[in-house]
Structure 1
Amino acid sequence: MKTLPFLLACLTPAAAFAQSAPAAQQPVLPPVAQTVDVTTSSEPLPLADPDRSVRLIDLADPARQPLFNAVEDYLRLDPSIQLQERSPGGVQADISIRGTTFEQTLVLVNGMRVNDPETAHLNLDLTVPLEAISRIDVLHGSGSTFYGSDAIGGAVNLITAPAPRTFAEIRLGGGSYNENEQHLRAAYLANPKSVLNSEQITASRDASDGFFYQGANDRGYHSLAAASDTFLLSPIGQTEILLAASDRPYGANLFYGDYDSKERTKGWYGAIRQEIARDTLADFAYRRHTDLFVLLASNPNYYRNNHIDTAWQADLRHTSHLAANLDLAYGVEADGDSILSSNLGHHARNQGAGYVNLSAHALGRLSLSVGARQEIYRGPTAVFSPSAAAGYAFGHGLRAHAAYGHGFRLPTYLDLYYSDPATIGNPNLKPETSQSFEEGLDWTHARLHASATAFQMHQSNGIDYSKYALTAPWQATNVNHITYTGAESALSYTLRGDQRIDLGYTFIHATPPPAGLISEYAYNYAAQNASLAYAVTVRHQLSARTQLGVIQKTAQSPYPLWSVALARSQGLIRPYLRMDNLSNTSYQETPGVPLPGRTLVGGLVMSWPAAR
């Protein structure tokens, strides 16, 4: 544990800063909760269940929004999440929960899948701008019972909401590496009796010349996204119509080897959600995504791939209240995806599933939930995913919880069919499966909340790219058995109602690979991840946050990342300043892909009417 002395040394300055902070109005660090209220009673993910490890990150407070610029910035608040960015600005990032690979995390928008069927490297290539998202729910551990394939390590659910009021807001900024950002949010909130309840338009543009200068714009990017979110009211219930699109050309130098590559992705997303009375919910979503990859920017015709994939999903969910403390949630789902690719060929597949979850709560000190899902794919082939969770309240704010879950993942099209001189897919890959277990304690007393959870996951047929010789190509293969064992802990303390300190630490250990095996992904996890965050609002005017993280990847030395952000909280014009990697650390989240050193971005937020 050579990390711990180094961690203590790194955290000392931030702790001293926390003790000397002035009085203020309210903390600006997004609250991270373990139990929350679900959006509707028919949501399958048990976000109101205290017996599972669920984290909520609130994005709704306008005072703190300029302090973050991408979904990835918020996800870094959770030390059980490891981001593997190849470039900043939301361009391309992999996400891992509890040490699992980037392919084993499911990303959703309002409970609908947005994972890319081509490759999980594009799961966070979001069409929805950050300003359209009101909260992020993160499930630690298997979620396949509730959402199907890919939710082995966990799930990240990005949730939109009706406009809180009528307003317009523009953010303009610039900084290091000629970075510039323009973000727009315009919202209309109607009379509660109007059919058009609310409308919100959001758009963002983030661009940079790039920080890695080996050629013209070899790491530059132009990231564009826009969305319209409409809420309608009728006697049946609320209707939400979400439309979004994105366009991201970027330099991909070193992304997939020692090549001056470039890439351009485009996305289109449409979803409609209909509440039927209070307890029934119907959804339909469609996603189209294109990916143009050029291996050599200096010779575009030497090697290039063009991928076009589509995906759709429909579901019907219902909750029956069997008794005062007994709920039965159940539903059916259907989804499909396809790809037309110059490298992968033309393929398509469809799945269907049904799930059920029985939840008994407030049974004295005991709570219990049991669920199961049956998913059918490839004709008669099926996978059964059960889950169970239980909790016991000892009193005085102390609660114990335990959970079990089965997870599975179908291979992506790239896993199955990709081929180039450096990487070879495998059409005979089997689906991944997992069994996960966890148990923990939560304690809440006044303004203090503490939690600790131990977990273990056993994987079968895990998919990895591996080889036994450095000169050999990467080969997609099934790994028979991998076991991840670890623990996560968190401590949150609110000082005088206006400041907050959050500490978190996650430790993970996996069974070692076979002797001589060179693994590309399965063993590239953060063995230790510690975080200290502090937030304050000063005299109703200044919002500030700082976060210091220390990460140790497997077989590597630990490295620190320190960020500070400031913004005016109120007024028609609100200046802001974000400073990242203040320690100027040289580091790589993806092996072979260096990330920026110290960066500063500042600008103005203009609001009408003035923010209060």
Structure 2
Amino acid sequence: MKNVQSLRNAVMVSLLAGTTLVWGGTAFAQEDLQEFALEDMVVTASRVPTQKVDTPADISVITKEEIADQNYASASDALRAIPGVNVLGSGAKGSSMGQDKILLNGDERVLVLVDGRRMNLGSSGNSSADWLPPVNAIERIEVLKGGGSALYGTDAVGGVINVIMKKGSEIGNHVTVKAAGGSWNAEQYAISVSGSNDSGLGLIVSATKERRGEYKFKNANGKSQMLKNSGYDDTGVIVKLDQKVGEDNRIGVNFEHINADGGSPFGYSGFGNTDSHKRISNNVALRYDWNESSDERGYVQVYKNYQHAHFRSPVASRQSNFTDSTIGIEAQQNFKFSDTDELTAGLEYYKTTVDNNALYTGKRDINNKAIFAENRWEFAPTWQLNAGLRYDHHSKYGSEVTPKVALNKKFDENSNAYLSWGRVFNAPTTDDLFWYQPGMYPTYGDPNLKPEKGYVWTFGGNTKLNDKTDISASVFYSD
């Protein structure tokens, strides 16, 4: 249960390919200089493809080539390779519903997107790294650090992670099979099949299976002991179908399924208790893109995310069986006024319904409507000014306006420096608003909560030394 969070001040310095320092906390990490193939275009910072050198933001990219070269077992492993990104596991995998928090520059208020779709739960406001798509279906992962509320609204206080999936029509006929094993009867299997035809129809089917038995540990006496109820069994399936329409349009359908089942050995009933959990996730999305290769591109998409979680326990007070379901629609259009001036504008609506009889007094829902726009203006040679504004109207707390301004200086085609300021906000979740847990130590939500508000300053720069080496640095202050 979260209450209104107090204002926090932090000053952090991140050298994304060298040393990572955190001031005002307890973290200090040293990273080796990374060499990796860079993509020149990024999408997440401005919601449209933009050259990285023209992007006044702290953004990192993990490509499918990096994923393959480093043999990452999961998207979570790939994220951990980026300085400034922390994935906090809550014990052994499978032991607590796979709710691994993602932190960007120390902030857990991170918006997670898959192909631009909002994945954060309405109940907690978070999205676990354990629920990201399998690596064999990922084209690239973009990580935007710093306040993103002006374009993305709530949950984007610390930044945005956007997982962009492969398209069958672009990669053609391909089959990838993977099998791995390890200690404690651990097994991991993955298969990805893609195909396309001359009419522009593409299909990707990805299936994964991962399981492990109970594992051993050294007890206080130095003897090896089996930890009861510590195994897990996870299955995932992704189906993505896309069809070119005309010369420059595309329609796509996505379906994502996760079935996670495991024990919870560190529970209320003691060490190695018999608590267990089951989580089912079914997400579906329909998207239509037009003018894909044009500066005046746009899209509209509708989606539904569904999560069902069942906590099983012999102790009645620890049992919980709830669903978190979100339906959403968003549309966006880019306008090119001249070679030096363009505007991206859009609208968004989503409604989340949470049915949790264990912690709420019945079914609860919230909805949010928003419009947003960002103008990118090259007002002088090598100088660019980005100005963004978003208006949100929430069903419970009312309206919120979040502006952002960023200045970018391009020294050449491989180097830039930037300064940005933006307002951020974090809306109360259904847990914050409606939690109802009486008893000896009661906890109650507050239906009158207002959003947490603040602002973020960021100063940084990027330089591309060669095709394989990029150095970025940023300093930010958040309140």
For Structure 1 versus Structure 2, the TM-score category normalised by the shorter chain is 0.7 to 0.9
Query: Secondary structure of 1:401's partner?
Result: strand
**1:266 equivalenced with 2:273 (yes/no):** no
Aligned 8 A contact 2:150 2:372 in 1: yes
What are the ranges of 5 or more consecutive residues in structure 2 without an aligned counterpart? 1-19, 22-28, 218-224
- Check 1:110–1:30 CA distance in 2 against 1; reply closer, same or farther (3 A cut): farther
Aligned 8 A contact 2:253 2:285 in 1: yes
- Check 1:60–1:120 CA distance in 2 against 1; reply closer, same or farther (3 A cut): farther
**1:38 equivalenced with 2:14 (yes/no):** no
- Per-residue deviation, 1:349: 1.2
Query: Secondary structure of 1:134's partner?
Result: strand
Alpha-carbon displacement from aligned partner over 1:542-571 (angstroms, at most 9, x marks no partner): xxxxxxxxxxxxxxxxxxxxxxxxxxxxxx
Aligned 8 A contact 2:227 2:265 in 1: no
- Check 1:153–1:38 CA distance in 2 against 1; reply closer, same or farther (3 A cut): closer
- Check 1:258–1:158 CA distance in 2 against 1; reply closer, same or farther (3 A cut): farther
**1:292 equivalenced with 2:274 (yes/no):** no
Spell out the pairing of 1:404-483 with structure 2 (5 A cutoff): 404-418=421-435, 419=437, 424-427=443-446, 428-446=448-466, 448-458=469-479
Spell out the pairing of 1:3-402 with structure 2 (5 A cutoff): 31=37, 36-38=41-43, 43=47, 48=52, 49-60=54-65, 63-64=68-69, 67-86=71-90, 87-88=92-93, 91-100=98-107, 102=108, 104-120=109-125, 122-126=127-131, 128-163=133-168, 164-191=171-198, 194-196=199-201, 198-211=202-215, 217-235=228-246, 237-254=249-266, 260=273, 261-278=275-292, 279-294=297-312, 296=313, 299=314, 301=316, 303-343=318-358, 344=360, 345-361=362-378, 363-378=380-395, 381-394=398-411, 398-402=415-419
Alpha-carbon displacement from aligned partner over 1:483-505 (angstroms, at most 9, x marks no partner): xxxxxxxxxxxxxxxxxxxxxxx
Aligned 8 A contact 2:341 2:376 in 1: yes
Aligned 8 A contact 2:76 2:130 in 1: no
- Check 1:404–1:253 CA distance in 2 against 1; reply closer, same or farther (3 A cut): farther
- Check 1:45–1:123 CA distance in 2 against 1; reply closer, same or farther (3 A cut): farther
Alpha-carbon displacement from aligned partner over 1:225-258 (angstroms, at most 9, x marks no partner): 1010111111271111111111111223337896
Aligned 8 A contact 1:245 1:266 in 2: yes
Aligned 8 A contact 1:136 1:156 in 2: yes
Aligned 8 A contact 1:31 1:56 in 2: no
Distance 1:147 1:244 in 2: 23
Alpha-carbon displacement from aligned partner over 1:157-192 (angstroms, at most 9, x marks no partner): 01112131212222111002221101010110222x
- Per-residue deviation, 1:422: 6.2
- Check 1:395–1:315 CA distance in 2 against 1; reply closer, same or farther (3 A cut): closer
More displaced, 387-396 or 428-437? 387-396
Alpha-carbon displacement from aligned partner over 1:353-407 (angstroms, at most 9, x marks no partner): 0001001248412111100000001268100011111111345955321111222
- Per-residue deviation, 1:120: 4.4
Distance 1:42 1:436 in 2: 17
Aligned 8 A contact 2:180 2:188 in 1: yes
Alpha-carbon displacement from aligned partner over 1:106-141 (angstroms, at most 9, x marks no partner): 111111101112224553352633321111011101
Query: Secondary structure of 2:431's partner?
Result: helix
What one-letter code is carried by the residue in structure 1 that aligns with 2:472?
A: S
Distance 1:149 1:212 in 2: 42
- Per-residue deviation, 1:94: 0.5
RMSD value, Cα: 3.1
Q: How many residue pairs end up in the alignment?
A: 427
Distance 1:256 1:457 in 2: 37
Distance 1:215 1:63 in 2: 34
Query: Secondary structure of 1:218's partner?
Result: coil
Aligned 8 A contact 2:379 2:385 in 1: no
Distance 1:361 1:231 in 2: 35
Aligned 8 A contact 2:336 2:342 in 1: yes
- Per-residue deviation, 1:416: 3.1
Distance 1:403 1:71 in 2: 29
What are the ranges of 5 or more consecutive residues in structure 1 without an aligned counterpart? 5-9, 19-26, 459-612
Distance 1:266 1:359 in 2: 41
What one-letter code is carried by the residue in structure 2 that aligns with 1:453?
A: S
Alpha-carbon displacement from aligned partner over 1:279-313 (angstroms, at most 9, x marks no partner): 1210111011011113x4xx254530111110011
TM-score (norm 2): 0.81
Distance 2:277 2:226 in 1: 15
Percent sequence identity over aligned pairs: 21
